[in-house]
Amino acid sequence: MSFKVRKALASDAVEMAYTKMNAFKESYKEVFPSEYIEKSTYFEEMYYSYQKAIIKSKDMLFVVIYNNIMVGMFSVKECEDPDFKGI
């Protein structure tokens, strides 16, 4: 059982969309009717959105993998401070 974090690849877009959809459904199942949740989770839109973000975005996108299953994702914006020399 171990966590792994790596930079997202364009091929991760499908799994990222499913992860986001499942998290949304699980988070709001007690709040909204199931019909609303089903209508609010558009896989195809999420997939293209993640794919575009991975390929074209200046943000650095990462995925979190636990036991070979993607469980989350996050982004880190590049430092915009011109005086920052790095760590």
Q: Is the residue at 83 inside a domain? A: no
Residue 39 lies in a domain: yes
Domain span at residue 18? 3-76
Q: What is the pLDDT of residue 87?
A: 60
Q: What is the CATH number of the domain that holds 27?
A: 3.40.630.30
pTM over 0.75: no
Q: What is the DSSP string of 7-76?
A: E--GGGHHHHHHHHHHHHHHHHTTTS-HHHHHHH--HHHHHHHHHHHHHH-SSEEEEEEETTEEEEEEEE
pLDDT digits (tens, 9 = 90+) for 35-87: 777 776 677 777 788 888 888 766 688 889 998 888 888 888 777 788 877 66
Whether pLDDT at 26 is above 70: yes
Is residue 85 included in any domain, yes or no? Answer: no
Count of the separate structural domains present in the chain: 1
